[in-house]
Amino acid sequence: MLRPTLFTACVAAVLAGCQPAAEQLAAKPMQEFVSQAGKFKVKMPGPPESQTHQFDEKIGPHRIKVAIAMHQVQARNEGYFVGVADIPNVPFLSAIETRQLLEKSRDGAIASSGSTLESSKSALLQGQYQGLEFSAKMPPPPRGVADGQIRGRIYLVGSRLYQLYVGGAPALVNDPRTAEFFDSFKVSE
């Protein structure tokens, strides 16, 4: 089974201290970003910066290398993030095993960022892909953002894990544009 730390190193580093910028994300227009490699599209407040990280993961008795593509738009202490990882050689997972994988991914991201889970519920992507939607409270500075929050959604589509996060002040996390970000996320086959 996949360790809960698949995205945590990337997400924790980014959510704990986004880069300074001249304007906050609320002032930027939403625009569609399409990832041909990640097979998804989403609306974000500006073009994202993209990075790829390699991790060694243990799945069952096997150790494999997993590449994680992170796409992020950041300003000061806020950001929008999409992470994509192909998990090779994953056997067909039952609904219960998929739920466990999603929960471990959520819990790992929250724990590594020092955040506290506030709520979590099932989510469905495009009417067919199982997921989780959650919110968490960020730790205070210097590790987090004063009164900061995280909203996230995690989906497993075949052997590809998608994680979407918005982190920052409550005004950003609860802004209608955050709902637009999550609701605009679509995968292609």
- pLDDT tens string for the chain (189 positions)? 444 444 444 454 444 444 434 357 777 889 999 999 999 999 999 999 999 988 776 655 667 777 889 999 998 778 999 999 987 756 667 778 888 889 988 998 899 889 999 999 999 999 999 999 999 999 988 877 888 999 999 999 988 999 999 999 898 898 899 999 999 999 997
pLDDT of residue 89: 59
- 8-187 CATH, one of 3.30.300.30, 3.40.1000.10, 3.40.50.720, 3.20.20.300: 3.40.1000.10
Residue 42: burial class (beta carbons within 10 Å; 0-12, 13-18, 19+): buried
pLDDT of residue 155: 96
Structure tokens at 67: 């590449």
Could you tell me the end-to-end alpha-carbon distance of the chain, in angstroms, rounded to an integer? 24
Rounded Cα–Cα distance for residues 44 and 82 (Å)? 10
CB contact at 8 A, 50 and 69? yes
pLDDT of residue 22: 36
pLDDT of residue 59: 58
Can you give the pTM of this predicted structure? 0.85
pLDDT of residue 54: 85
pLDDT of residue 176: 92
pLDDT of residue 47: 94
CB contact at 8 A, 166 and 26? no
Residue 86: what residue type? Answer: D
